[in-house]
A and B are shown apart, each in its own frame.
Chain A
Amino acid sequence: MWQVSLLNINEENLNQDMSSEKKYWKSADQLDDQNPVVEALEQKEFAEHIPTDEFLGDKEKLDSSQTSRRDFLKYVGFSTAAASLAACEGPVIKSIPYVVQPERLVPGVADYYATTIANGFDFASVLVKTREGRPIKIDNNTSASNFTAGKARVHASVLGLYDIKRQQNPQIEGRDATWTEFDDRVSQDLKNIGDKSIVLLTQTYASPSVNRLIKQFKEKYTNVEHIVYDAISEEAALNAYRNKYGIRALANYDFSEAETIVGVGADFLGDWQGGGFDASYAKSRVPNNGKMSKHIQFEANMTLTGANADQRVAVKPSTQNHVLVEIYNQIVGRVSATKLDDKTAKKVNSAIKALKKGGKKSVFVTGIQDEGAQQMALEINAKLQTELIDYTNPRMIRQGENSKINTLIADMKAGKVGSLMIAGVNPLYSLPNADEFESAMSKVNSTVAFSMKLDETAKVAKYVAATPHYLESWGDVQLAKNTFSLVQPTIQPLFNTRQFEDTLLKLIGGSKYYDFIKETFNQKFEGLSWNQSLHDGIFEYSSNSTEESDEKENEFNASSAAQSLLSNSAEGLELTLYTKTSLGDGQQANNPWLQEMPDPITRTSWDNYVTLSKVDADKMGITNNSVANGALNGDYVKVNLNGKTINKVPALIQPGQAPGSIGLALGYGKTEAIQEEMQVGVNAYKLYKDFNPSQTVSISKVEGIHEFACVQLHNTMMGRRDIVKETTLEVFNTKDKSYWNDTPKVSLNHEEVKVTSPEVDMWEEFDRSIGHHFNLSIDLNSCTGCGACVIACHSENNVPVVGKQEVRKSRDMHWLRIDRYYSSEESLQGDYDKKDDISGLSQSLNQFEELEQPSQTDVQVVFQPVMCQHCNHAPCETVCPVAASAHSRQGQNHMTYNRCVGTRYCANNCPYKVRRFNWFLYNQNDEFDYHMNNDLGRMVLNPDVTVRSRGVMEKCSMCIQMTQKTILDAKRDGREIKDGEFQTACSAACDKGAMVFGDVNDKESKVVEKYEDDRMYHLLEYLGTKPNVMYQTKVRNTTEA
């Protein structure tokens, strides 16, 4: 009653207001009483007459119609009833067996083939899992010691096979053609070439057969020039190595035995010099007998390498030159005076001390793209007499001679080039002066693009030779001087494609490339079995002959090199272009897995952006802020390099970015042969002047707000030790476990009891002692945050891609995420101490707020992969009203999709936030036009894992399909299971050994060893959830040399 009367009063008041002189209006027109529109709007709901006449106007027609309204309703009712009745009948499912079944193919059983990815950017020996003849997953080839597939891009490359944007036929002048016509036209063109030259512009193939083939091609056609072009150039390092060691290759580092690693601007855990060093690096990072490597990193952008370093010093590129010269000064010999501020100088000195202390176990690396700088690095390592470089086996996976590109452009412009054949590269996308190249190309009579897609270059080429994916190709690769691997097809070509090599062979009148490779193999590797090598995928062969020795340059003039390094006095902001862990050089930009994979550092997907320091952002008034739905927004900037500008680049404030420097990722901004959904970011290759990633630019804020798809906005742990436990090597070596890795205690009868003790347990324990009990250990010391596990999980478990807008709404579906935390103080230890010292309300209010903010320049970073923790006392299980979430005796927490009704109680009750809800149907839905929306893309799905539907909760299953298969195989063979046989997709993908999976009931297993390790802890242990996933405390080597 009371409420009602109140309401009435309000209404009365309202009426009074209305009748008073106050007048409310929606638009200025309303104030004009005479305005007819206003009147019309007041009288009618719709200002304009609704055109019902169009379908109801013709009265005669309507009358003559046989269907009355009642009839219509009858039909609707009848057909609805009929449809629902018909739905009771199941569909007729056809099953079509082979006519002649291939001998080794058994439906339902996976076959594995060893092959090699060698796309000019990523080189790795891989195992390909095929089901019913379809490649569905890339695994690591564990026998490959070095070039393993532990990279997100390599694992994701299988999806590239099923890319709907692939070129399916050869093309001549924009129309589809046959190969015979193609061959005729191209060979005709080559015949009529006259005295002009033929230029082959290719990626780094690093293939003995391709080399031999091009040699033969040169013999057949005179005046052939072969230019190797790498989109991301390593020319400086290649030339420096040639000058010193007489072979144009890259130094082969092995960090596994390292004591000291000093890096200057070298993201060697990323793509520096071809990457792939992380596995050996991770080995040196695990404390063993109280010892681990010490890693000091000087860099501008926050990279994976810097994030893993024991000590990271944020210095902008021009200062990096000084750091390098200073280290050279003190280790090899004084060449030039350097200018460093006190703080940096101190850190440089301590790095030099550490290098000297490590002696032969020390190594110095740099990513400065300058021949002199690279040679200085080699000299430093030579002086240190480091044992961490294998000089007998340098890496061959980059061979680019990018400096020849400008000569080529000049030649083309001058009309000296009669035919340009471009294979495996996309210069019109990846050249800084792409426009110039394009106009020069138009002067060439015959241009042939050997390409998998109709990309920027192929689009303007006269002929497009559709090439197959590497999983459909033959080949051989010389990964390092003595390390070789073979490429074999794992599926028949899906489209009418032909390898570049086969076309070249056709042009010189040869046979098949397969025979050609075998011929090369038999010539080159005496005594090796072709079949065995093909089976293994990778093999070592050292030839005694020193056939192709490049010229050595005798004297290295260090002082002039130093001079030129130090002379660059940069004004303005210093840009460092980098490649992202996910997209790399941009070849796989049309791969939704990679687009959706959050960057390990920024945790942002579907974008590239300018990263800049807080100091610089404040100066320019650039801000990042979180909006109401929990997403991140940011300002746009304009980047200007000598008149070349990129407008509207989103800006992200990056903790740890050196003030005065900015970063921008290459590989984005593609517009050709890429689905609309994947056309994100800006093309930073425009700024890649002279193939130098370090440029001086100016930026200015421009209009607009950018919406980031960032999956992690809480950037610090606010001093909570229960999330990532961290300690220093010193403490680890000297103090007791209870000091640095104490088990949380709870109060029982006013006494402190360990949370793990059975008395405080409110649940009855399963008996798990018989059979298997799975546990997963994650070592935070060897985890570099590379994200290979994220993609491996994606591909094993049919995890859907949801797109940028959904990621923004925190609806990403990754079963496995890698959390990244910054320290708020200079170190995480500082955070812990600060939090412990807080007392009182006022102090806690402001100090917790401070703890929320990551430190900006001196910041420590930790990575923590988090997936379902498979708690033995799982909070999710108790709240499920339909028992869709249940526990097993093997330690896995089961998620039964067909039981799930989607209440999402489990996700709410999960303390680790690892459950993912299917808000939409992500397959066969045009709203989510990714690989699951087309027949081709769906071929990558794992047939052993259900594709989840809308309204269902899902989460990590601890790859139960894999553990069950291992068990079944053993049962069928009648044998016990050996340790190491049990794997999950993530543990198998981790070539760093950070993830160890196994059966804790097998007392000899590695995972038991991990369980009993002092460093072991469980995530949020005080909750008493008893997870089956454990972590190993991160130990940082902060000991000063």
Chain B
Amino acid sequence: MRKVTFSQEFFKYLFLLVLVVSFSSTYAQEDATSEEAKSEETAAEQTEESAVPGGDPAKGKELFNSLCAACHKPYSDAVGPALHGVTERREMDWLYEWIKNSQALIKSGDQQAVALYEEWNKVAMNAFPQLSNQDIDDILSYVEQPKPEPKVAVAAEATTGEAQSGGGISNEIVLGILAFVLLMLSVILILVNKTLNRFAQANGIEVKDDKPKGKPIWVAFAENQFLVLSTVIVMLLVVAWYGYGGLMSVGIDQGYEPIQPIHYSHRIHAGENQIECKYCHSSARVSKHSGIPSLNVCMNCHKQIAEVAPETQAKGEQEFNVDYNAEIQKLYEATGWDPQTQSYSGESKPVKWIRIHNLPDFAYFNHSQHVTVGQIECQTCHGPVEEMEIMYQDAPLTMGWCINCHRETNVKMEGNEYYEKIHEELAKKYGVEKVTAAQMGGIECGKCHY
């Protein structure tokens, strides 16, 4: 379960070297693939224009995303029914009327409308009187586009995947070839030597060892007391260095990256979708705990989002070996949400996350102090979360690390009435405008240990 990767300088450098070697080729390939994908996309859009006559699917997409997407999806049911194929099911005129004001249509007693209203648990659809028939055509033409085959995406992914793995393979090949050449060279050297000796023997030439036979090197080494002493000292220092390092890393879980019950990607949420950290971790504003979001917070969005975009899905499968859609299903299972009926079954089972940042019990830490009062970015302590596919511990979370920051960081006093008097007095007394957290008493023992 627990996977702690310690930063190993050596491997870092090796990796860098290899990376530099293979950089140029990778770069070129990436460029090619992205262009390829783009062109394919536009091609797809152009070919499927004719679903609704006179509709512009590009405009329709824009309108759909701003007005309809909260409740509808093109290819699956959400709060409202899936819209793909709606032009086949209903008359166009009926659709115009319905979309502009569905309630009026129901009240007028239209049978289709009433039946639909009943079927969807009497959830009234918003009226959109601002839409013209042309707008509606645009939207419908967008939703009537055939479901894009995942083939396209897979193809795109496959190319990118190849590009990625291509870099890796070439590195290995280069290394392999080099090693092979070296091996061959040494074999050849030995063979040549042997052959020459054999020639000499055959010709009766005695190969003379010119050098007088001296002491073996290890005896010479053992006899040189200075060398022995300095070697021992060096070895002891090395042992001490690594021993100290090893012991000091006990209990430090920097890089701790456990496998979580649900593969939750901060990269997608905080990175790609740019969701504010405190949207989910809302208690960080007011509480000592940042709080793992309760599942109802997830469901705020995931009620609608049952599936990720095909590109995202493909990327997950290729790069991280994860099926994002299956992970979303896990969330539904935990909350008891049935996407088919769009209702909660009432049976829920909490998710047992594995806690990553563990402060010892005797250390008091308050998120709101840092987040709200100190206005410190979450990333300052938690690292580049928006790039983390799986959350890991970025900082060592040692006391020295805390104290360093307290020594270096100025207290945010501006605009906070609490500090007004303190600031005034400080300025008067010491003529300073800024003080660090440490100077305000932020490294006193009892501030964090009680």
**Sample of 19 A–B contacts (CB below 8 Å):** A94-B353, A97-B350, A98-B294, A98-B350, A100-B296, A101-B297, A108-B287, A769-B425, A886-B446, A888-B447, A898-B362, A944-B450, A945-B450, A957-B446, A960-B450, A971-B369, A971-B373, A976-B417, A977-B418
Given contacts A946-B449, A960-B450, contact A97 B429 (CB under 8 A): no
Please name all residues of chain A whose beta carbon is closer than 8 Å to the beta carbon of B254 when the two chains form the complex.
none
| Contact code string A750-790 (vs B, CB < 8 Å = 1, else 0) | 00000000000000000001110000000000000000000
Chain A residues contacting B429 (CB-CB under 8 Å) are 769-770
Task: Scan residues 471-488 of chain A and give those whose CB is less than 8 A from a CB of chain B.
Answer: none
User: Which residues of chain B in 340-362 are interfacial with respect to chain A, using CB atoms and an 8 Å cutoff?
Assistant: 348-355, 358, 360-362
Total chain B interface residues with beta-carbon distance under 8 A:
58
Supposing A90-B253, A888-B441 touch, asked if A946 and B353 sit within 8 A by C-beta, the answer is: no
Asked if B59 lies at the interface with its beta carbon under 8 angstroms from chain A, I say no
The reply to whether B418 and A97 contact each other, CB–CB distance below 8 Å, is: no
User: Footprint of B on A, CB under 8 Å?
Assistant: 88-90, 92-101, 106-109, 769-771, 883-884, 886, 888-890, 892, 894-899, 944-947, 957, 960-961, 964, 967-968, 970-977
- Knowing A92-B2, A894-B449, the reply to whether A971 touches B441 (Cβ < 8 A) is no
From B349, B352, B418, B446, residue with most partner A Cβ within 10 Å: B446
Whether A90 pairs with B449 at a CB distance below 8 angstroms is no
* B residues in contact with A88, CB < 8 Å: 250
Indicate if B112 sits at the interface (CB-CB under 8 A): no
Which B residues are CB-close (under 8 A) to A90?
Answer: 2, 251, 253, 358
Q: Decide if A93 touches B441 in the complex (CB within 8 Å).
A: no
In the complex, the chain A residue whose C-beta lies closest to that of B399 is A898
Q: Flag if B449 contacts A975 (CB, 8 Å).
A: no
CB-defined contacts of A957 to chain B, threshold 8 Å:
446, 450
Answer whether residue B445 sits at the interface, using C-beta atoms and an 8 A cutoff. yes
The reply on B292 being an interface residue by CB < 8 A is: yes
- Output the nearest chain A residue to B416 by Cβ-Cβ distance: A974
CB distance from A128 to the nearest CB of B (A): 19
Contacts of B67 on A, CB cut-off 8 Å? none
Chain B nearest CB from A806 CB (Å) reads 24
Complex: how many Å from CA A886 to CA B334?
49
Kindly report which residue of chain B lies nearest to residue A889, judged by CB atoms.
B441
Chain B residue with minimal CB distance to A770? B425
A307–B366 CA distance with the chains assembled, in angstroms: 45
Residues of B close to A971: CB separation below 8 A: 369, 373, 416, 418-419
Closest-CB distance, B12 to chain A (whole angstroms):
24
Interface, chain B (partner A; CB < 8 A): 1-2, 250-251, 253, 258, 283, 286-289, 291-297, 334-335, 348-355, 358, 360-364, 366, 368-369, 372-373, 415-422, 425-426, 429, 440-441, 444-447, 449-450
Is there contact, CB below 8 Å, between A99 and B253?
A: no
Closest to B335 in A: A99
Report the 9 A-B pairs with minimum CB-CB distance, sorted nearest first: A894-B446, A108-B287, A101-B294, A98-B294, A108-B289, A95-B355, A896-B445, A97-B292, A108-B288
Q: Least Cβ distance of B4 to chain A in Å? A: 9
Neighbouring B residues of A895 by C-beta, 8 Å: 446, 450
Task: For A771, list chain B residues within 8 Å (CB).
Answer: 422, 440-441
Bound-state Cα–Cα, A47 to B258, Å? 61
Q: CA of A974 to CA of B418 in the docked complex: distance in angstroms?
A: 5
Taking a contact as CB atoms under 8 Å apart, the answer to whether A100 and B295 are in contact is yes
CB distance from B244 to the nearest CB of A (A): 15
Report which of B258, B296, B350 forms a contact with A96, defined as CB distance below 8 A.
Answer: B350
Is B450 a contact partner of A99 (Cβ separation < 8 A)?
no
Q: How many angstroms from the CA of A95 to the CA of B291 in the assembled complex?
A: 10
The answer to whether A972 and B449 touch across the interface, beta carbons within 8 angstroms, is no
Query: Does B446 lie within 8 Å of A97, measured CB to CB?
Result: no
Distance in Å: Cβ of A944 to nearest Cβ of chain B: 7
Known contacts: A97-B350, A945-B450. The answer to whether A107 contacts B418 by CB under 8 A is: no
Q: Chain A's nearest CB lies how many Å from the CB of B129? A: 35
Which of A97, A890, A944, A976 lies in contact with B295, CB distance below 8 A?
Answer: A97
A109 pairs with B2, CB closer than 8 A: no
Query: Hey, which chain B residues are within 8 Å of A95, CB to CB?
Result: 292, 352-355
With a cutoff of 8 Å between Cβ atoms, the chain A residues found around residue B446 in the complex are 886, 888, 892, 894-896, 957, 960
Selected from A96, A108, A960, A968, the residue in CB contact (under 8 A) with B351 is A96
Residue of B1, B335, B445 with highest tally of chain A CB at under 10 A: B445
The residue from B289, B352, B421 contacting A94, defined by CB atoms under 8 A apart = B352
Q: Which residues of chain A are within 8 angstroms of B292 by Cβ–Cβ distance? A: 95, 97
- Smallest Cβ distance from A963 to chain B, in angstroms? 10
Q: Are A888 and B417 in contact (CB under 8 A)?
A: no
B368 touches A964 (CB 8 A): no
Chain B residues contacting A968 (CB-CB under 8 Å) are 366, 368-369, 373
Residues in B with CB closer than 8 Å to A106 are 283, 286-287, 291
Contact B334 A99 (CB under 8 A): yes
B423 to chain A, nearest CB (A): 10
Residues on B with C-beta less than 8 A from A947 are 361
| Separation of A977 and B417 alpha carbons in the complex (Å) | 10
Q: Are A109 and B353 in contact (CB under 8 A)?
A: no
- 8 Å CB contact of B353 from A96, A898, A944: A96
Collect the chain B residues with CB atoms within 8 Å of residue A109's CB: 283, 286-287
CA distance in complex: A946, B361 (Å)? 7
Taking CB atoms, residues of chain B closer than 8 Å to A770 are 422, 425-426, 429
Which residue of chain B has the shortest Cβ distance to A945 in the bound complex? B450
A898 CA / B351 CA spacing, docked (Å): 33
Bound-state Cα–Cα, A971 to B372, Å: 9
In the assembled complex, how far is the CB of residue B337 from the closest CB belonging to chain A, in whole angstroms? 11
What is the CA–CA distance of A99 and B418 in the complex, to the nearest angstrom?
A: 37
A964 to B446 alpha-carbon distance, docked (Å):
10
Residue B287 contacts which of A107, A894, A898 (CB distance < 8 angstroms)? Answer: A107
A residues less than 8 Å from B362 (CB atoms): 897-898, 946
Q: Is the CB of B418 within 8 A of A970?
A: yes
Given known contacts A957-B450, A972-B368, is B253 in contact with A93 (CB within 8 Å)? no
> What is the bound-complex CA distance between A899 and B399, given in angstroms?
12
Across the interface, which residues of B come within 8 angstroms of A898, CB to CB? 360, 362-363, 449
A946 cross-chain contacts in B, Cβ below 8 A: 361-362, 449-450
* Residues in A whose Cβ lies below 8 Å from that of B415: 974
A289 to chain B, nearest CB (A): 34
**CB-based nearest A residue for B411:** A971
Given contacts A93-B355, A888-B447, 6 further A-B contacts (CB under 8 A): A770-B426, A771-B422, A897-B449, A899-B449, A971-B418, A976-B421
Task: Give CA–CA (A886, B335) in the complex, Å.
Answer: 49
Chain B residues with Cβ below 8 Å from A96 are 350-353
> Given A98-B294, A106-B286, are A972 and B354 also a contact pair (CB < 8 Å)?
no
How far, in Å, is A465 (CB) from chain B's closest CB?
30
A770 to B369, CA, bound (A): 20
Our pick among B293, B360, B363, B450 for the contact of A961 (Cβ within 8 Å) is: B450
Separation of A55 and B140 alpha carbons in the complex (Å) = 88
Q: How far is the CB of A120 from chain B (nearest CB, A)?
A: 38
Closest-CB distance, B243 to chain A (whole angstroms): 14
**Interchain CB contact under 8 A, B369 and A99:** no
Minimum distance in angstroms from A979 CB to a CB of chain B? 14
Minimum Cβ distance to chain B for residue A337 (Å): 66
CB neighbours of B450 from chain A (8 A): 894-895, 944-946, 957, 960-961
Contacts A769-B425, A771-B441, A970-B418 given; indicate if A107 touches B291 (C-beta within 8 A): yes
Q: How far is B335's CA from A101's CA once the two chains are assembled, in angstroms?
A: 12
Task: Give Cα A354–Cα B340 distance, bound, in whole angstroms.
Answer: 86
Residue of B283, B361, B441, B449 ringed by the most chain A CB atoms within 10 A: B449
Q: Is the CB of A974 within 8 A of B353?
A: no
B418–A975 contact, CB under 8 A?
yes
* CB nearest to A949 among chain B residues: B362
Closest to B363 in A: A898
Measured between beta carbons, the chain B residues less than 8 angstroms from A107 are 283, 287, 289, 291
**B363 proximity list for chain A (CB < 8 A):** 898
- Cα separation A402 to B90 with both chains bound (whole Å): 83
Q: What is the bound-complex CA distance between A387 and B360, given in angstroms?
A: 59
- Taken together as a complex, chains A and B put the C-alpha atoms of A947 and B369 apart, in Å, by 23
**Pairwise interchain contact B441-A890, C-beta atoms closer than 8 A:** yes
